[in-house]
Structures are given as C-alpha cells and as structure tokens.
A and B are shown apart, each in its own frame.
Chain A
Amino acid sequence: MVLSVVGVSHVFPGAVGDLSVLGDIDLEVRSGEFVAIVGPSGCGKTTLLNLMSGLDHPSVGSVELRGAPPVAGMPDLGYLFARDALLPWRTVLGNAELALELRGVGRAERRDAAARLLGQVGLAGFEDRYPAQLSQGMRQRVAIARTLVAHPSVLFLDEPFSALDAHTKLLLQETFSELWGGLGSTVVLITHDLGEAVAMADRVVLMTRRPGRIKRVVTVDIPRPRSPMALQDDAEYHRVFDQLWEELRQEVVESAEGILPAGSVEREGSPLWAQH
C-alpha cells in the first residue's frame, strides 16, 4: 500500500459549533493505482485529499504514506487543483520549470525537461508567453506540466478539470490520461463529476453527503490505455456509471434538501449533475 487511511474523522472547530466533515473513513490505495473519490459538493472531498496529502492532519485516525504521515511539499508528491495558480510574472516555461528550480536542478536541464513536457501537453511554441495570454484550458495544461515535470510518484488531483468548459475538459482528461499512462504514478482524483471518475479511474469511491463517509467502492474494468473521449460507447463504462449514478443522485438530492424548493430536484434520472 502506498497510502492508507485508517479510521479517519475530521472536525472543523467553529465559533457557532464544530463542523463534522468526515466520518470514519478507511481507504487503501495501491502503488500505481488510479483512485477517484466522488461525492456531492461540500461532503468533505477536498478535506479528505488534504489529509491524504499532508496539507492537513486528521482530528481522529491516521493517514500513512509509505508507512509515515505525509508531509506536504515532499518532493515525490504532485498536486493539481481546479485553479491553476500560475505565477503571472513568469512565462509558460518559467512556470513549468518551477518544481525543478526549487529542487536546485541546473538551468539548462530543467528548461529542457519543462520544454519537453510542455510539448507533451500540446503547448510547444508557447514557452515565452505569459499566463494572461493563454486560454483557461491552456493555463491548466501548463499547470499539468508544472505538476508532472518533477515525476511525482503520488499525484493528488482536486477537481483539476472542473473549471473548464465541457469540450476543453474532455481534451484535458485525454491529455492527462495519456501522460499518466507513461508515468505509472499513483493517483488520487477528487471530483464531483461521476463520468470523469469512471472514465479515468481503476476504482471509484463514492462518498455520502456531509459528514462524508464511504458509501460504495466500485472497480472499473475498462482496459488501458483508455481514451475518455471514446468511452461514450463502452458498455463497462455505462454499467459502472449507471450503478453509481442512482446512489450519487440520492446523496446530492438529500444534501440539497432545504436549499432547493421541495420537489424541484426529485425528477427521476434528471442529469442535473451528470456530465456524462
């Protein structure tokens, strides 16, 4: 096991009362595995990822990464978030080489590596642009290059494609899947998008509404290499999607109760939250 989460609960203390966010999570991730964690908005997905990646520490229970508590910033961990966090004063190349620069890799070597990776994410020729001159999708491609350039062995992705429009999202999922195929790193992907989870992961973990617990774990038997774009006709993809969809829908509806007018979310099979 690369990562193990044992009996983790998490509480955010607050002035008006404590907020219990995660309830008794047990989860193991094998080396080289791609695990997606899906759940309704606000159920504690980001909190769980932060605990798994050392950005925060659980109130109860323990998280171990190769036998020791994870520490954020460890060199073989990679992170990718919904917001690209590109440094606006650095060029595309300057952003992509950041991780290697911080590690003290020589200028020529890190520029080579960054340029190669930028080529792989489809940004050859854009090395000298500034982030403000790029589209949202291109910016996120730079962020992918920035994350992968240091060859992290464990990748933590928090809704990395959710700020993108539907087409760009598919293209980036495709690019990421391709690159990941050649890396062999372990991936934990947080998403609210069930289609994305099923298309990309080996295992999908479904969480309940807050306080998030694990409701169901399903293995996805679609052979690799996969192309998220070509899965629309795949029987296994639809089988897993449909199996999880009804359960996710229930959680979403119930967590929305009291927010939306009665009955407005009860239309059976409504693809309100599916991007499928």
Chain B
Amino acid sequence: MGAALSAPAATRAASRSRRPRSRSLGRRGLQVRAIQLGLLLVLFGGWQLSTELGWLSPAFTSAPSRFIPSFWHGLTNGTLLPLTATTLFETFVGFAIAAVLGVAAGIVLAEFPLIDDATRPFMTGFNTLPRIALAPLFVLWFGLGSLSRIVLVVSLGFFIVAINTYAGVRSVDRDTLLLARVLGAGRWRRFRTFVLPAAVPAIFAGLQLDLTYAFIGAVVGEMLSGSQGLGGYLAVQMGSFDIDAFFGGLLLLVIVALIVSWLVRLAESWLLRWRVAELHGTARR
C-alpha cells in the first residue's frame, strides 16, 4: 500500500501529463483499466496456481481462494468496518494535526532565518529519532487507546510536512521575488501572493507523503499496542496463526489505501490546475 500512496506528486503529475485531460474514460482510459485488471488477474491467478501446484504453502502465504472469502466474511458480518473506521480516524486526525503544525513550522523556519538557525540541531535531532521505535513509549505515556497512535502519526508526519513546506517556500523563483519588490508588495503581501502559491506543489507533495505515513503509523501503532483498529486485527490474527484472516485484513488495507490515494489525486488535480497545463507538453520555457 505504501507504493500506491507514496508515489511522489511530481512523478504522478508527470505521468498524468502524457494522459488526455478528460475525466471520462476515453479509449486510453479503457486500455489502462483493462491492463490493470489483467495484472490483478495475473497476480492472483499466479498466486492461486502456485498454491495449487504446491509451490506455495497456504499455511504461510494463504491463497486468493482462502483470503478473499475471509475478507468478504469479515466485511459482511460487521467485524472489519468498525476496525477500519478506528484506523481511518487515527490516520486522518493525526494527518490533519501534522499537516497544520508542519506547514506552520515550515513557513516560520523558511521566513525567519534566526529561528531556523537556532532550532536546526533540534529539528535534525528529533527527525533522526526512529519514531516507530518510540511507539511503546507513546503507549506508556498516552495509554492503549487511539491517542497514543495519533501522537505516533503526528510525530511521523510533522517533519515530512515541515521539511517539504520549508523547501517549497525557499525554492521561490528570484524573478518572482523581484516582481513582488517592483510591484511594491509589503512583507505579508509578498508572502501571500508570491511565495505561498509557489510553495503549494511542494507542500502538497509533503501532505501526500504525510498521509501515507499517517496510515502506516496508525496501523503499526495498533499492531504494537493491542487489539484496536485494523492493525490490532492483524496482530490478533497473526497471533492465532489465522493466515487467511491476516491476508484478508491486508487486502482491506490495500483497498482503503487505494481509495484514499484516489481522493488525494482528485484534490490535487483541482488545486494544481495550472501545473497540469504546465506539464502538458505545451510549456515553452
């Protein structure tokens, strides 16, 4: 699921530039869907076939014929959906807090060099800490409930967003700053009209990474801290060696991640309309 969510914004924007703009499924869109379906069939078919031929043991790798029914059963009997809701709640709350704090910190650091220089060793130091390894500590401090996972998620996402925002604000074109100056823009105007919009693509790339890590952080936090959420479910199934249920849970994880990444992409293509034009092969600079 990491790959689906974490492809950097730039890479995806570039690949989209080769695609026709229209939202409706054109000829090209149908081809893409057909190939995707084919790949899915090859993956699951190969997996199933390898199991049937005895190359893979279902005790270790389950098999589509086993985990898909388990997944479906979990969905329909109402166990999986509340778990998903818990995980998504932690993901989104942690994501949002990290986003707000990270954007604010990135802007302050980029705009005020004194604060930047003074806090640099602290930022670098905290960013180097392996946050996932701190999960047990967060459980000790904040208990077994969602709060400890939200803290973990925030601690992961904050630096990602802050660093991307900082880079975005710092990367503003010199010509743009000169323009702000000759147009007589004051400090706040300069920031709002010239600097911040230029930083939006980088901030957005940071937010997308933040979301990926928020999801990973929530699931891993749940796995380490008990029985709540999708992560807790995975841990429990693994503990009881129910490999089919474990893979069923993974399948749900992947599906949730794909839906979230699709929503992010919609938001991106609206927010960064001008970039679509820029990457569409008509740029002449």
Contacts and interface: CB of A to CB of B under 8 A. Distances in A.
Contacts of B173: 85
A162 to B, nearest CB: 15
Interface stretch (B75-83, B156-164, B176-184, B229-237): B176-184
Given A102-B193, A130-B278, A133-B277, A85 B178 contact: yes
A132 B274 contact: yes
Interface in A121-135: 129-130, 132-135
Interface in B264-285: 273-275, 277-278, 280, 282-285
Contacts of A134: 284
Interface string B241-285: 000000000000000000000000000000001110110101111
A184 to B, nearest CB: 21
Nearest to B272: A89
Interface string B181-195: 111110001000110
Contacts of A102: 183-185, 189, 193
Contacts of A133: 277, 282
A73 B274 contact: no
A93 interface: no
B65 to A, nearest CB: 50
7 contacts: A73-B183, A73-B185, A74-B184, A85-B178, A87-B176, A130-B277, A132-B274
Contacts, number: 66
A132 B278 contact: yes
A89 B274 contact: yes
A53, A83, A135: residue with the most chain B Cβ atoms closer than 10 Å: A83
Interface of A: 53, 55, 72-75, 77, 79, 81, 83, 85, 87-90, 98-99, 101-102, 129-130, 132-136
B198 interface: yes
Contacts of A129: 277
Contacts of A136: 284
A132 B283 contact: yes
B122 to A, nearest CB: 33
Contacts of B178: 81, 85
B175 A88 contact: no
Contacts of A101: 193
Interface in B36-57: none
Contacts of A130: 273-274, 277-278
B147 interface: no
Nearest to A139: B284
Contact of B182 (A73, A83, A88, A90): A73
A246 to B, nearest CB: 35
Given A102-B184, A132-B274, 10 more contacts: A72-B184, A73-B184, A77-B182, A87-B194, A98-B179, A99-B183, A102-B193, A132-B284, A132-B285, A133-B277
Nearest to A79: B182
Contacts of B189: 102
B197 interface: yes
**For the complex, would chain A's binding face be called helix, strand, loop or mixed by DSSP majority?**
loop
B184, B189, B194, B282: residue with the most chain A Cβ atoms closer than 10 Å: B184
A169 B117 CA distance: 46
Contacts of A99: 183
B176 A85 contact: yes
A102, A132, A135, A136: residue with the most chain B Cβ atoms closer than 10 Å: A132
Nearest to B279: A132
A72 B186 CA distance: 12
> 8 closest Cβ contacts across the A-B interface?
A73-B184, A132-B278, A85-B175, A130-B277, A79-B182, A85-B179, A89-B274, A132-B283
A73 B285 CA distance: 27
A73 to B, nearest CB: 3
A85, A90, A134: residue with the most chain B Cβ atoms closer than 10 Å: A85
B275 to A, nearest CB: 8
A132 B275 CA distance: 9
Contacts of A85: 173, 175-176, 178-179
B284 A88 contact: no
A89 B184 contact: no
Given A102-B189, A136-B284, A55 B274 contact: no
A147 to B, nearest CB: 9
Nearest to B178: A85
B182, B193, B197, B273: residue with the most chain A Cβ atoms closer than 10 Å: B182
A202 B274 CA distance: 41
A103 to B, nearest CB: 8
B181 A89 contact: no
Nearest to A53: B182
A97 to B, nearest CB: 11
Nearest to B278: A132
Contacts of B285: 132
B215 to A, nearest CB: 29
A87 B197 contact: yes
A195 B183 CA distance: 30
A89 B176 contact: no
